A and B are shown apart, each in its own frame.
Chain A
Amino acid sequence: MENWTSTPFEPFAGLAGGLLIGSSVVLLLYTLGRIAGISGIAAGAMTQQGSERYWRLAFLAGIVLSAVLYIAFTGGMQVQTQMGSAWLVVAGLLVGFGTRLGSGCTSGHGVAGLSRLSPRSIVATLTFMCAAVITTTIIRHL
């Protein structure tokens, strides 16, 4: 009845990936003094000028380059969307608008913010986690 793609639980791959993400957050703070929040970096890459724009573009280029290298070495990457195009457009608008209104996403609030025990980030993370779980549950089970 359900046609959702199932994925295996991989705690070690998850932990390894998490350690890399955490290292990136620490290294960006150590070198540039900035918080690695992807929504803020993506928005700033479009709305800021000069050097404020260039380091953000470099970070985003690094992310895309990582995927290009990953594909080159492993033969491909899995991106299995589960919803139709119209839903993805609605979701994209909500993610773009919401992360800027709320000043952060899974990286800025969820990783960097929780790591420094920011009260705003704790509230934001609880809010978007609950909203996401409720949304996915409604779509799949109601």
Chain B
Amino acid sequence: MRVIIASLICGLLFGLGLLISGMSNPARVLNFLDLSANWDATLAFVMGGAILVAAPGMYWVRKRNKPLFADKFDIPTSTTIDAKLILGSAAFGIGWGISGFCPGPAVVAIASLQADVLLFVGAMIVGMLAQHWLKPKSA
């Protein structure tokens, strides 16, 4: 139960951060990605602010023996830079550049109940499941 509550609170904080900074509005994100004319640099301050807390915070947490409510830290260890990483990130970037939605803001925007948002989230889920079913079972 404490795991669920901790996770719920983390989700709340995360969503609130996206809302306060206006990242849940795709118009604002696209005005960051479009460097010309009326450039809106807010997104850079969001990422900067997040890293300002997360870099020292994660460093401090990882020096502990284990998490509060789990047996061990579950952190990716791979350092292999392969075609999947590059192609996947490029495909994501193209979709992000078209829509102004990355997964976090898209989940936040569900609450607006706008048909276009639900359409995007539905397609995103299909894309995620397609990758899951297509990948080799050994991986």
Taking Cβ atoms with an 8 Å cutoff, the residues of B that contact A are 3-28, 30-31, 33-36, 38-55, 57-59, 61-62, 64, 66-70, 72-76, 78-81, 84-104, 106-112, 114-117, 119-132
Contacts and interface: CB of A to CB of B under 8 A. Distances in A.
Given A100-B128, A102-B84, A94 B91 contact: yes
Interface residues on A, range: 35 or more
A120 B101 CA distance: 22
A80 B17 contact: no
Interface of A: 4-36, 38-39, 42-43, 46-47, 51, 54-56, 58-71, 77-83, 85, 87-103, 105-107, 109-112, 114-116, 118-120, 123-125, 127-137, 139-141
Contacts, number: 511
B29 to A, nearest CB: 9
Contacts of A21: 13-14, 17-18, 46, 49-50, 53
- Scoring A12, A55, A91, A130 by chain B CB atoms within 10 A of each residue's CB, the highest score goes to A91
Majority secondary structure of chain A interface residues (helix, strand, loop or mixed): helix
B73 A33 contact: yes
A87 to B, nearest CB: 6
